[in-house]
Chains A and B, each alone.
Chain A
Amino acid sequence: MTADLTSPLAGWTDRLAALAPALTVSEVPFRSQLTVRVSDPGAVAAMGSALGVVFPSVPCTFTAGEGEFGAVEVLWLGPDEFLVVAAPGLQVPIEEVLRGALGDFRGSVVDTSAQRTTLALEGPHVRDVLAHGCSVDLHPAAAPVGVCVQTLLARTGIVLLVTGEDRVMLLVRSSFAEYLAAWLSDACAEYRAVA
């Protein structure tokens, strides 16, 4: 099936790989992503137990867990808005399960899997490189592991997840993905030279 699939950064694989050792960058394509709007605490809890993850209660954070659908991350996007992220190909059954958990409560579940793509960034310079275009303080003390901010990187919107001391995931709207890749490549130039 994936033979027919083309990811937004399919043409960038080599160029992103070439950014090492400044930064290890790769696209993580085709992940299942569902935009969930829900505010009833019971429904939030039900969704969480259905997926094996506790939904984040603190703004600008994400949580991770494992259940029926394997590893699942839930990103806080707003006071009643979450993005559920799982491995590729699971969007249909997850949507069904989430709808079931929502029941008659107010809310919505939308498959937005192809709306954004994901970039995984790793390396000792990761926070430095991003600081060239991101106004949010990325110092480890201010942005520890578990932080998930929606903000601007240079001239595009991103969702930024701090997944490790030297690891960050960026979610970007598919149409902006090539711009982001080009920007990252340019911002890495100096770090490649000195690495």
Chain B
Amino acid sequence: MQLIPCPWCGPREEAEFHYGGQAHVAYPEDPSALTDEEWAQYVFFRDNPSGPFAERWSHSAGCRRWFNAVRDTRSHDLLAVYRAGEPMPEVAS
């Protein structure tokens, strides 16, 4: 049972959290201006790197805040957590 450090509540067991997929994928400013291809990229396509990956988590059984985390997909180690709206910090992979 991994610990995830909620930026507000501190480290808690992963069972208290919900996964929200890749971070920093913004809802398009004007979806109607996008081609089908561009829209499909937003809806269906996400990165799947081997290594550091910025993703969204929600402390759903705690303070219910969404935040971002950089996770190394090879080890599951969380390299950094940061609040929604903040830029992704530099991490050593």
Contacts and interface: CB of A to CB of B under 8 A. Distances in A.
Interface of A: 59-60, 77-79, 81, 135-136, 149-152, 157
B63 A150 contact: yes
Contacts of B8: 59-60, 78-79
Nearest to B3: A135
Contact of B9 (A60, A81, A152, A157): A60
A81 B8 CA distance: 12
Contacts of B12: 135-136, 151
Interface string B1-35: 10000001110110110000000000000000000
B62 interface: yes
Contact of B61 (A59, A79, A152): A152
Given A59-B8, A135-B1, A77 B16 contact: no
Interface residues of B, number: 13
Interface of B: 1, 8-10, 12-13, 15-16, 61-65
A149 B10 CA distance: 11
A59 B9 contact: yes
A152 B63 contact: no
Given A59-B8, A78-B8, A79-B8, A135 B13 contact: yes
B33 to A, nearest CB: 30
Given A59-B10, A151-B16, 14 more contacts: A59-B63, A60-B8, A60-B9, A60-B10, A78-B64, A79-B63, A79-B65, A81-B63, A135-B13, A149-B9, A150-B62, A150-B63, A152-B16, A152-B61
A77 B65 CA distance: 10
Closest 10 A/B residue pairs (Cβ): A78-B63, A135-B13, A150-B62, A59-B8, A157-B61, A152-B61, A60-B9, A79-B8, A78-B65, A59-B9
Contacts of A81: 63-64
A152 B65 contact: no
Contacts of A79: 8, 63, 65
Contacts of A149: 9, 62
23 contacts: A59-B8, A59-B63, A60-B9, A60-B10, A78-B8, A78-B64, A79-B8, A79-B63, A135-B1, A135-B13, A135-B15, A136-B12, A149-B9, A149-B62, A150-B9, A150-B61, A151-B16, A151-B61, A151-B62, A152-B13, A152-B15, A152-B16, A152-B61
A78 B10 CA distance: 12
A149 B13 CA distance: 13
